[in-house]
Structure 1
């Protein structure tokens, strides 16, 4: 393949990736919760998950000094 052709294909693919990234950023911004209650709910569930993981640790690992 000639270098000019390869470079042209690279530019086309880079433009496609940039447009996909922009679309993803817009979609991610639309999904973000805007109400503070959503943030508290997410934080609460994260703390519950951490607590469950800590409670599920093996007893043998906790007994090692």
Structure 2
């Protein structure tokens, strides 16, 4: 059984390692345009899905 302080220290070390790996990946990955057809289509589908999922307000006369 590990002490809570030991687990916390290991967690912080692992989190720092993951952040460093993510930073290295971001730097190594080639930049590509984010507004391609695929991205626009994806956001359009998200918008349509949100409109379908959101209930319409009830109008009271």
Q: What TM-score bracket applies, with the shorter chain setting the length?
A: 0.5 to 0.7
Cα separation, partners in 2 of 1:55 and 1:14, compared to 1, 3 Å:
closer
Asked if 1:18 corresponds to 2:12, the answer is yes
Cα separation, partners in 2 of 1:23 and 1:43, compared to 1, 3 Å:
farther
Q: CA RMSD in A?
A: 3.2
Higher radius of gyration, 1 or 2: 1
TM-score (norm 1): 0.51
Structure 2: segments with no counterpart, 5+ residues: 56-61
TM-score (norm 2): 0.53
Which structure dedicates a bigger proportion of its chain to helix?
1
1:50 CA displacement: 1.0
Q: How many residues align?
A: 52
